[in-house]
């Protein structure tokens, strides 16, 4: 499955720390909630297009580690 598009979606009644999630629209027609938006990790939704779910999650993890280590 490959990501065709991604949007940030606000969750109703979610706590402030979980105000938006990345919702991926897959080439199979499925919509999958990938992960929540992290306030200090810049990850444009369009940067996930063309990736598999595993690749998208790996990219997010790498970005979060880079921020934590001070490499923005």
Range of the domain at 46: 3-69
The model's pLDDT over 10-20, given as tens digits with 9 standing for 90+, comes to 888 887 777 79
DSSP 29: S
Query: How many domains does the structure of the chain reveal?
Result: 1
- Looking at the chain, the whole-number percentage of residues with pLDDT higher than 70 is 99
pLDDT computed for residue 72 by the predictor: 59
Question: Residue 2: CA atoms inside 13 Å, Cβ hemisphere, count?
Answer: 5
Query: Can you state the percent helix, strand and coil of the chain, rounding each to 5?
Result: 35, 30, 40
């Amino acid at each position: 499955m490959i990501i065709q598009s991604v949007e940030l979606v606000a969750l109703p009644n979610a706590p402030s720390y979980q105000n938006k999630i990345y919702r991926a629209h897959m080439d199979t027609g499925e919509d999958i909630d990938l992960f929540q938006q992290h306030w200090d990790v810049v990850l444009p939704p369009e940067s996930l297009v063309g990736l598999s779910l595993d690749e998208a999650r790996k990219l997010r993890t790498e970005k979060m580690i880079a921020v934590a280590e001070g490499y923005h």
